[in-house]
Amino acid sequence: MNAIFERRSVRGFLPKAVEQDKIERILKAAFEAPSAKNRRPWEFLVVTAKEDLAAIGTMSPYARMCPGAAAAIVPCVNLGAGSVPPEQGPDGLSAPWWVQDLAAATENILIQITYEGLGGVWLGWYPDRDRMAALASRFALPPHIAPFSVVAFGYPAETPSPVCRYDSARVHYGAW
């Protein structure tokens, strides 16, 4: 549980590569996320090339830290192969269930990043169609794959202190 309480958004990184075994453990954590009806509609793009990280940094005003990151993981939804049920709309993008699935996978990534002694930050990509299109074009994503988020990470240049965010005034037992 410590990784949950210690996790903070980190936007400054040391110029040090992240070891492949750590990246693999982070990806394994993503695959352990819960998903509706166990459909597991995710695919993950791992980005480590500096020029690609720099390109991601230009796709959103909130992604300026990407060029300094050691890596990024892009959780994507696979809209094909039955991973997204047809009742969720013709393009799949109007559907709520895969969004929850990919959010759970993204959170698992962040928790494992913290556990590995790294720092990272969740960058929203979906539902911004311009960001999604730019990333899909840059990385030649197939038409049935759509980026959900970007998690930039690396060895932290900063260590934000943990903060207790528990607020008992927002907890209601039995009824409001």
Pairing of strands 42-47, 149-154: unpaired
Provide the CATH number for the domain around residue 31: 3.40.109.10
Q: Is residue 162 part of a domain?
A: no
* pLDDT, the chain, mean: 92
Pairing of strands 149-154, 145-147: unpaired
Q: Is residue 164 part of a domain?
A: no
Q: Is residue 172 part of a domain?
A: no
Report, as an integer, the average pLDDT of 67-83: 90
Query: Could you report the per-residue pLDDT of 164-176, keeping only the tens digit for each?
Result: 999 999 999 999 9
Model confidence at 91, pLDDT cuts 50, 70, 90, reads low
Please, which residues bridge with residue 73 across strands?
46, 151
pTM of the model: 0.91
Is the Cα torsion angle 24, 27, 33, 35 positive or negative in sign?
Answer: negative
Q: Is residue 53 part of a domain?
A: yes
Q: Is residue 33 part of a domain?
A: yes
As for how many domains the chain has, the answer is 1
The answer to whether 76 touches 44, Cβ cutoff 8 Å, is yes
Q: Is residue 67 part of a domain?
A: yes
Q: Is residue 42 part of a domain?
A: yes
pLDDT score recorded for residue 35: 95
Structural domain boundaries enclosing 42: 2-157
Report, as an integer, the average pLDDT of 25-40: 96
Q: Is residue 152 part of a domain?
A: yes
